[in-house]
Amino acid sequence: MENDIRLVCRDLRAIAADPIALQRICKRIAKEIATGRLAGDRVRIAVLSTFLVDMLIDVLRAALLARGVVADIVKGAYGAIAVDLLSEKSITRDCDLVIVLPTHRDLAFVPQPGCSQAEDNAAVEQEVAVWTDLWARIKAPIVQLSFDPPPWRALSEGDGFRPGGHLRHVRCVNQKLGELAPAQVALVDAEALARTVGQAWHDARTYFLCKQPFAPSAVWEVADSIAAASAGLLGKARKVLVLDLDNTLWGGVIGDVGLTGIVLGSETHEGEAFVAVQRYAKSLAARGIILAVCSKNRDEIAREPFRAHSGMVLREGDIACFVANFEDKVANLRRIAQALNVGLDALVFVDDNPVERAWVKQELPEVLVVNLPDDPALYCQAIESARAFPTHRVTAEDLGRNASYRSRAIVAEVSSEATDMGAFLRGLEPVARVERVNSGSLERIVQLVAKTNQFKLNPRTFSAEEVLQRAQSTGNVIAVRLKDRLQDYGIVTVAITEFQGEEVTILNWVMSCRVFSRRLEHATLELIRANARAAGAARIRATFVPSSKNAVAREVLTELGFTPAGDADWVVPTVPEVPLESHFMHIESGEEL
């Protein structure tokens, strides 16, 4: 039953156009969640809105479940976003995530036609201040729908551009909110959503009937886009786009038709469509999505176009993990996940062959399989509409990620051959650089703690303010950047500690999966020990709370010599009883800015 429910909610898009069937299935899913039997990360979510969200919430729950989030949803009083947030008893207080859904009707300072530029700008400032003030009151991460374009344009074509235009006000406010949104606020672009939904976005009859502004047929798109943004904030965005080659990245089977026979390039309409798919993949790679190839081909033949075809947009260097052989794709997808050191639930699989898709769906339910249509002209749209890669801001680490994972895959290959692990690690010439907590590193530190799933001691996260405040006591926030001969991995491990009498407590400790097996944890513990010694603490205490994903953290604690000390507590003496294996790292300190 449980697996049925999960598979059903993956394919809800197929029945999105039939609101009656959609609601029935979503109601069943809601009942199943209410039994408490579904495994997965249970998340408490508050929905605050100024319109009727009952129909939306049923579908939202299913769309979240499709992304691995088992949601318990509470809703605020209808139309009372600010009132709820200002109340001492706000329903958002115990929530892991708050979803805020206003519409253009909630704009309080819409300027009048004929007002001056200055008056118009002032109205935007006033409007924005309302929301930034409310955000500051919520501790949990926030997903907020931006303001939607109003249905009528009093200033006609000038409404979106001229001072006093309603649409211009909406656009300026959204833009400003986007600029000012702190890291824990993800805005859903209502203008883009309204475009996707089309005519059904503004449905006056439904609104007057029950205060739901869009038609029942729009509920799926709205729910799914909010679910995707929520999944992104909860660290559930997928990370890897796995691409087939023949008839996916180019037309034809290269093993049969050869390099000159494949259809690719602006000479033919089909060739153009495949170029567009490659451009789209490249644009995703440019913002941090990892690309992998999984193809049934001989390796050297599969690589030929990447090296020698003028129509190719993707180069070998864009692919972090290239797997071309005649083995089962299920085995190959497992191999790709392993080489990149990500879970199967980080993969999105794109393949034109329906048999391969069905096989992967059946064998690897964690992998998101894109339902690719027959016409390559529609491939990009199909991948995009899966909303698999939500992000609301791009960090420097995102931009360098493909290079980073590429060398991670190289390291995986190299290390499977190297028999002397020590010699191998030393050969990489690693440098661990302790970074200062400042405006340059703060966002990455907060993001790393929030988004890490595997090496993470417990669910505790820290706001930017809290990290800054804790960093004021020397050594309490340890953020380490790893560099080696191959590249700079950025800040990849963060430990937040606190001195308490005889002990140093590690409140939480995370490490990016890209740098597992590099003994960076040895170097980090060494840093914590140095601080503990300086503070005169005899022991180091850590809180480990098991989740469905962090088994590796327990293994590492054990390896490092920590022993369980009741409840979730693990301890290790400041002076090690047995020295740890050498990490071969040169330790550096970050400079003052």
Partner 1 sequence: MSEPVTREQIQAKLTDIFRSIFDDDNLVLSDSTNADDIEEWDSLNQIKIILACEQVFKVKLNARKVNTLNNIGEMIEYLQDALRTAGSA
Amino acid present at 123 = A
- As a whole number of angstroms, the distance between CA 452 and CA 373 comes to 34
| Binding segment toward partner 1, per CB under 8 A, in 13-21, 240-248, 532-540, 566-574 | 13-21
Check binding of 533 to partner 1 (CB under 8 A): no
Check binding of 54 to partner 1 (CB under 8 A): yes
Q: How far is the CB of 299 from partner 1 (least distance, A)?
A: 52
Alpha carbon of 97 to those of 42, 74, 168: distances in Å? 11, 11, 30
| Binding segment toward partner 1, per CB under 8 A, in 48-56, 320-328, 525-533, 544-552 | 48-56
State the CB neighbour count (10 A cutoff) for residue 138.
21
Looking at the Cβ atoms of 16 and 330, the one nearer to partner 1 is 16
Closest listed residue to residue 107, CA positions, set 181, 60, 168, 48: 168
Looking at the Cβ atoms of 57 and 336, the one nearer to partner 1 is 57
- As a whole number of angstroms, the distance between CA 304 and CA 273 comes to 20
Q: How far is CA 62 from the centre of its chain?
A: 19
Looking at the Cβ atoms of 210 and 308, the one nearer to partner 1 is 210
Query: Residues 6 or more apart from 174 whose CB is under 8 A from it?
Result: 146, 147, 187, 189, 190, 191
Q: How far is the CB of 254 from partner 1 (least distance, A)?
A: 47
Looking at the Cβ atoms of 16 and 464, the one nearer to partner 1 is 16
Question: Which 8-state DSSP code applies to residue 423?
Answer: H
Check binding of 295 to partner 1 (CB under 8 A): no
Per the listing, tokens 């790679």 go with 285
Q: Where are the beta strands (DSSP E) in 193-332?
A: 240-243, 290-296, 319-325
- As a whole number of angstroms, the distance between CA 111 and CA 456 comes to 49
Q: How far is the CB of 192 from partner 1 (least distance, A)?
A: 25
Q: How far is the CB of 54 from partner 1 (least distance, A)?
A: 6
Alpha carbon of 69 to those of 23, 54, 341, 420, 428: distances in Å? 19, 19, 22, 42, 39
DSSP percent split of the chain into helix, strand, coil, nearest 5: 45, 20, 35
Q: How far is the CB of 212 from partner 1 (least distance, A)?
A: 9
Q: How far is the CB of 5 from partner 1 (least distance, A)?
A: 14
Q: How far is the CB of 19 from partner 1 (least distance, A)?
A: 7
Check binding of 19 to partner 1 (CB under 8 A): yes
- As a whole number of angstroms, the distance between CA 225 and CA 203 comes to 19
Check binding of 89 to partner 1 (CB under 8 A): no
| Binding segment toward partner 1, per CB under 8 A, in 17-25, 110-118, 261-269, 338-346 | 17-25
Binder of partner 1 out of 13, 28, 44, 335 (CB under 8 A): 28
Check binding of 68 to partner 1 (CB under 8 A): no
Per the listing, tokens 């993800």 go with 186
Q: How far is the CB of 83 from partner 1 (least distance, A)?
A: 22
Q: How far is the CB of 222 from partner 1 (least distance, A)?
A: 15
Burial of 160 (0-12, 13-18, 19+ CB in 10 A): middle
| Binding segment toward partner 1, per CB under 8 A, in 16-24, 120-128, 456-464, 523-531 | 16-24
Alpha helices in 117-180 (DSSP H): 117-137, 166-180
Check binding of 20 to partner 1 (CB under 8 A): yes
| Binding segment toward partner 1, per CB under 8 A, in 49-57, 70-78, 94-102, 170-178 | 49-57
Q: How far is the CB of 82 from partner 1 (least distance, A)?
A: 24
Pick out residues in 156-215 that bind partner 1 (CB under 8 A). 205-206, 209-210
Looking at the Cβ atoms of 207 and 544, the one nearer to partner 1 is 207
Q: What is the CA radius of gyration of the chain?
A: 26
Binder of partner 1 out of 24, 139, 279, 315 (CB under 8 A): 24
Residues in the chain: 593
Check binding of 4 to partner 1 (CB under 8 A): no
Number of residues that bind partner 1 (CB under 8 A): 17
Q: How far is the CB of 161 from partner 1 (least distance, A)?
A: 36
Looking at the Cβ atoms of 22 and 360, the one nearer to partner 1 is 22
Q: How far is the CB of 206 from partner 1 (least distance, A)?
A: 7
Alpha carbon of 216 to those of 12, 52, 103, 517: distances in Å? 15, 12, 17, 51
- As a whole number of angstroms, the distance between CA 260 and CA 99 comes to 52
Check binding of 55 to partner 1 (CB under 8 A): yes
Looking at the Cβ atoms of 152 and 208, the one nearer to partner 1 is 208
Looking at the Cβ atoms of 209 and 259, the one nearer to partner 1 is 209
The 209-248 site mask, x for binding partner 1 (CB under 8 A), equals xx-----x--------------------------------
For 71-105, b/e burial (b = at least 16 CB within 10 A) is bebebbeebebbebbeeeebbbeebbbbbbbbbbe
Which residues in this chain contact partner 1 in the complex, by CB under 8 A? 18-21, 23-24, 27-28, 31, 52, 54-55, 205-206, 209-210, 216
